[in-house]
Amino acid sequence: MSGVFGAYSTSGRTVLEEVYLGLYALQHRGQESAGISWVENGRIAAAKGLGLLHNAIDQQKLSGKSASSAIGHVRYVPTDPTQTQNILPIGANYARGPVAISHDGYITNLKELSKQLEQRGAIFHSSTDSEALLHLMAQKAHMQPLDALVDALRYLEGSCAAVVLLEDMLVAARDPWGFKPLVIGKADGTYYVASESCALDIVGAKLLRDVEPGEILVIDSKGPRSLRMAPDKHCNRCMHCSFEYVYTARPDSIIDGCSVYEARKKMGRLLAEKSPASDADIAAGMPDSGTIAAIGYAQRSEIPFEMAVVRNRYVGRTFIQPTQKVRELGVKIKLNPISDVFMDKKAVIIDDSIVRGTTAQRIISMIRNAGASEVHLRVASPPVLHPCKYGIDTRKEGTLAAVKMSIEELRKNIGADSLSYLSEEDLVEAIGLPEDQLCTACFTGKYLPENNS
């Protein structure tokens, strides 16, 4: 997963600081690197670096620059985080002018594509999906850049939410299945595209709509216009990633017309209806990802909600040496239950998902040590049973707790008095989109048919 952002001012004012702010609001989508690209004297210019946005890019240096159109990227890559050539946006000045690409997603036919491109002379500098798009464009140098881009997008399979900067335009494209979110917003004469609407809020832009699956949105001095990817790529079935609503997205975002906050709260409400913990004294969420579902659970079951587990909000932002002591502390570095709240209480704990089960096991033991007499765990999504073939998540099947154990075995393993999950039907109902518009494959195994992907 990654976060993409782009801005185009039709009045010619500079947008660089807004791109920085937009990326700041998308930091949760990637912490490994950040970059901003714009056009300066007809060539691509960029500010990039490793780590969080404020470490990666010096905001002061940006303030001396001016560009009426720019794109940015925050990247989450568990492997090779130190490879600076993989920092996006990727930029180049090819025969037809400058181009920079930010991309969120995973091109499933990247290997084949790269091989074909290399055979035709392309030299790859990075292992990013975006570079393949760049080479595809460069090999169509007889076409106008926009035509070459539209042509190149045709070859991509998998998930893709891309923002592309050309000399005089900004282009946003979303794959025909709509796996990854992408929205368009506007404030005065400036158009914005972003992975999530929370990034529009920070620049004071109004959310106009989602970029449609299979849409290529072109923004230039005349405003936005819409093209479609090749007709054979268009379909009625969508695959909006349901995990965005469960965990990935920020709760203040609206994705494909559905509020992430409302979806999470309803997940909690439905969980309370189907899996009550009737004699619990308190309900608490596992911060931050389980908190909103816990509010829904508590409201529906009329059990008092307590902020009983405290999260160190700087974890993940500061670097702590992984010494033996730190490894032993594990989850304790991040989460701490409040003894006074848990003492002699029957507690129902709500978390967004269980992946490996490590977090649940550690936190339940900590809550018991904090004095709780019973700990019931409710999970606001179905068991994660399958890998994501769309590259959105890199979990390995063999590490998934719900694959290795039955629910009863898992309950014993994590030390809960009871354990229940949200059903697939309730997940779909909570999000509010029709089932055939959602991808639930990591929960249900319902992947796209092979010849369709």
Residues in contact with Mg ion by CB under 5 A are 289
**Looking only at Cα atoms, what is the longest distance across the chain?**
74
Q: Please tell me the distance from the alpha carbon of residue 86 to that of residue 227, in angstroms, as a whole number.
A: 29
Q: Which does 130 bind (CB under 5 to 8 A by kind): ligand SF4, ligand 5GP, Mg ion, none?
A: none
What lies within 8 Å, CB to CB, of 128 at 6+ separation is: 86, 88, 90, 103
φ, ψ for residue 281, nearest 5 deg: -90, -35
Q: Read off the amino acid at residue 59.
A: Q
Cβ closer to ligand 5GP: 131 or 351?
Answer: 351
CB of 390 to ligand 5GP, least distance (A): 13
CB of 112 to ligand SF4, least distance (A): 21
In the three-class reduction of DSSP (H, G, I as helix; E, B as strand; rest coil), residue 245 is classed as helix
* Residue 353 contacts residue 405 (beta carbons within 8 Å): no
Which of 6, 26, 21 shows the shortest CA–CA distance to 68? Answer: 6
Cβ closer to Mg ion: 114 or 289?
Answer: 289
Q: Which does 354 bind (CB under 5 to 8 A by kind): ligand 5GP, ligand SF4, Mg ion, none?
A: ligand 5GP
Spacing of C-alpha 46 from chain mean position? 23
Position among 37, 190, 289, 420 found at the interface with ligand 5GP (CB under 6 A): 289
Q: Which does 390 bind (CB under 5 to 8 A by kind): ligand SF4, ligand 5GP, Mg ion, none?
A: ligand SF4
CB of 241 to ligand 5GP, least distance (A): 11
Helix (H) or strand (E) holding 153: helix 145-153
Q: Which does 260 bind (CB under 5 to 8 A by kind): ligand SF4, ligand 5GP, Mg ion, none?
A: none
Helix (H) or strand (E) holding 242: helix 242-243
Q: Which does 136 bind (CB under 5 to 8 A by kind): Mg ion, ligand 5GP, ligand SF4, none?
A: none
Place of tokens 């029709």: 434
Handedness of CA 407, 412, 418, 421 (dihedral sign): negative
Q: Please tell me the distance from the alpha carbon of residue 338 to that of residue 276, in angstroms, as a whole number.
A: 23
By the criterion CB under 6 A, which residues form the site for ligand SF4? 179, 241-243, 388, 390, 392-393, 439-442
Residues 145-174 interacting with ligand 5GP (rule: CB under 6 A): none
Task: Output the residue with the shortest Cβ distance to ligand 5GP.
Answer: 355
Cβ closer to ligand SF4: 187 or 385?
Answer: 385
Q: Which does 358 bind (CB under 5 to 8 A by kind): ligand SF4, Mg ion, ligand 5GP, none?
A: ligand 5GP
Which of 319, 311, 353 shows the shortest CA–CA distance to 335? Answer: 311
Task: Determine if 186 is a binding residue for ligand 5GP (CB under 6 A).
Answer: no
Which of 240, 245, 253 shows the shortest CA–CA distance to 179? Answer: 240
Task: Determine if 68 is a binding residue for ligand 5GP (CB under 6 A).
Answer: no
Cβ closer to ligand 5GP: 247 or 342?
Answer: 247
Task: Determine if 357 is a binding residue for ligand 5GP (CB under 6 A).
Answer: yes
Burial of 212 (0-12, 13-18, 19+ CB in 10 A): middle
Q: Which does 179 bind (CB under 5 to 8 A by kind): ligand 5GP, Mg ion, ligand SF4, none?
A: ligand SF4
Task: Determine if 351 is a binding residue for ligand 5GP (CB under 6 A).
Answer: yes
What lies within 8 Å, CB to CB, of 86 at 6+ separation is: 33, 75, 77, 80, 126, 127, 128
Task: Determine if 53 is a binding residue for ligand 5GP (CB under 6 A).
Answer: no
Residues in contact with ligand 5GP by the rule CB under 6 A = 247, 289, 351-360, 393
